[in-house]
Amino acid sequence: MMIENIYGNVFYFLQLTFKPEVLWNVVPLAIATILIVIYFQRYKGENPGWNSYLTNSLVLLFVSLALLRHIYSIDSEGALNFITYQAKSIASVFLLLIGTIILRFNFEHLLPEKIAKYLSSPLLVNLGAYAVILFVYSEKNIYGEEAIALIVIVLLLALIVNISKIPLSRLFVYVEKEKEKEVVKNIKESKYQIKELKNKAKEIEKDLKYNKLKELDKQKKKAIKLKKIIKK
């Protein structure tokens, strides 16, 4: 029964993701995650720096502020909604607090880079923000089974993203190999063309020498005839 409830909640949250008001928040996270995963599979030798960590941590701030604005505008109560929807407000403020702390750590370089890289990784940051977005936009009270469903969704998405790195990596390795083959082929073709041009140049040079010698021979014969005429 519990598994069925978790499955039902997973399906509910996935449906919730595609509601227009939720998509406005989720789509930028999805696009950023996909692009960054593709980028770092394409350029594996490139490592993100502190500026990337700082930028990634800003995502939590922007998302948390957007969620607080959503809570504020749920109905005409305005700021009272932060009391009415206390759990949603706490989750949004917590996300804002975490974002602010990580931002400070990254700005001041307070943590070792390995830890900062992990805490500010797009996958962790964006999936964490996604889970809070679903929590805030959900019409359900988030208790044990609902919370487990959110964790399952986050873990599944993390698994999908990590699995997708394998074909992406192979694809880019294949592309690089094909490029290298193309470069080698172009070099070989260039060498062949240069060789052909050299052969043609030798033939032209040989023809020029032959024609020159022929012309000189004609001139020599003419000179001999002229000498004979002069002697007569």
Could you state, in order of their start, the residue ranges of all structural domains in the chain?
2-165
Is there a contact between 68 and 61 (Cβ–Cβ < 8 Å)? no
**pLDDT of 193-219, one tens digit each?**
777 777 777 777 776 776 676 666 666
- For the chain (232 residues), the mean pLDDT of every run of 10, in chain order, is 77 88 90 86 77 84 91 83 87 92 88 83 88 88 80 90 86 82 79 78 72 65 63 59
Q: Which amino acid is at 92?
A: S
Task: List the end-to-end C-alpha distance of the chain, in Å, as a whole number.
Answer: 133
**pLDDT of 20-59, one tens digit each?**
889 988 998 898 888 888 888 888 777 777 788 888 888 8
CA nearest to 146, candidates 3, 10, 1, 4? 10
